[in-house]
């Protein structure tokens, strides 16, 4: 009999903290990232165009590069950060808060997109790292694309767990992610795309 890889498959939200305030920081409706980050993306694109005087073609190019780079960042974060297995009790607790809870309660409807309490600090750190390497206005377009890729990831992730795709690309992506949860969590790290699983040979092989 296959090992059960989750605690509960209920759509209800499990409690993580005794503190109501800390608990509230771990839950978010799937529309919140859209409401918050879309204006931020628009701000960055406007910054490139108005303040930086960049052409529409240059903005589009950097935007697409940022979007493509997100797919790689998504894979790296999911495989080597979210699935890192710490040995200390404190490390295990941090891992559970960031990702372990999602595998224990994969259909928890309030923990399928990243809460702003995590996404804002993470985005700020990544932006500062990019700021060292990329000129300011080019970075604005690049980071706009990067954030757009993140939004696709977040909303796709919610859809993978709650939408019923009958056919096509989204059904294949959903099947890929469901195998990650219910078959082997050490494979299939791509969520919005499985291209990097193909490149790094970490996907699921089709049965002949």
- Is the residue at 21 inside a domain? no
- Is the residue at 20 inside a domain? no
What's the confidence (pLDDT) of residue 15? 87
Contacts of 47 (CB under 8 A, 6+ apart): 137, 140
- Is the residue at 9 inside a domain? no
- Is the residue at 14 inside a domain? no
In terms of C-beta density within 10 A (0-12 exposed, 13-18 middle, 19 or more buried), how is residue 83 classed?
middle
Most confident range (mean pLDDT) of 6-15, 23-32, 199-208 is 23-32
- Is the residue at 145 inside a domain? yes
User: Sign of dihedral through CA atoms 150, 155, 156, 162?
Assistant: positive
- Is the residue at 1 inside a domain? no
pLDDT tens digits along 154-169: 999 999 998 888 888 8
Q: Which residue is it, tokens 């056919």?
A: 167
- Is the residue at 131 inside a domain? yes
Is 208's pLDDT higher than 60? no
Is 80's pLDDT higher than 80? yes
Helix (H, G, I), strand (E, B) or coil at 40: helix
Section 107-114 average pLDDT: 91
- Is the residue at 54 inside a domain? yes
Section 146-152 average pLDDT: 98
What is the residue-averaged pLDDT of the chain?
A: 92
The string of DSSP letters for 70-82 reads HHHHHHHIIIIII
Distance CA 74, CA 161 (A): 18
Is 21's pLDDT higher than 50? yes
pTM of structure? 0.93
Share of the chain above pLDDT 90, in %: 73
Is 201's pLDDT higher than 90? yes
Which domain range does residue 187 map to? 32-199
Tell me how crowded residue 26 is: count the other CB atoms within 10 A of its CB. Answer: 20
> Structural domain tally of the chain?
1
What's the confidence (pLDDT) of residue 207? 64
Contact in structure between 169 and 134 (CB atoms under 8 Å): no
């Amino acid at each position: 009999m296959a090992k059960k890889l989750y605690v509960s498959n209920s759509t209800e939200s499990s409690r993580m903290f005794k503190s109501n305030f800390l608990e509230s920081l771990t839950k978010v409706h799937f529309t919140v990232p859209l409401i918050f980050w879309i204006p931020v993306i628009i701000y960055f694109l406007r910054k490139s165009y108005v303040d930086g005087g960049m052409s529409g073609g240059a903005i589009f190019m950097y935007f697409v590069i940022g979007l493509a780079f997100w797919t790689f960042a998504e894979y790296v974060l999911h495989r080597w950060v979210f699935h890192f297995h710490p040995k200390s009790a404190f490390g295990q607790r941090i891992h559970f808060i960031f990702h372990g809870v999602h595998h224990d309660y994969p259909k928890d409807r309030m923990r399928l997109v990243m809460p702003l309490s995590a996404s804002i600090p993470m985005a700020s750190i990544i932006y500062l790292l990019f700021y060292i390497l990329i000129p300011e206005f080019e970075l604005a377009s690049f980071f706009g694309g990067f954030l757009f890729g993140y939004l696709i990831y977040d909303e796709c992730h919610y859809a993978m767990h709650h939408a019923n795709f009958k056919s096509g690309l989204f059904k294949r992506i959903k099947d890929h992610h469901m195998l990650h949860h219910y078959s082997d969590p050490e494979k299939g790290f791509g969520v919005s795309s499985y291209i990097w699983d193909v490149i790094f040979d970490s996907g699921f092989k089709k049965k002949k």
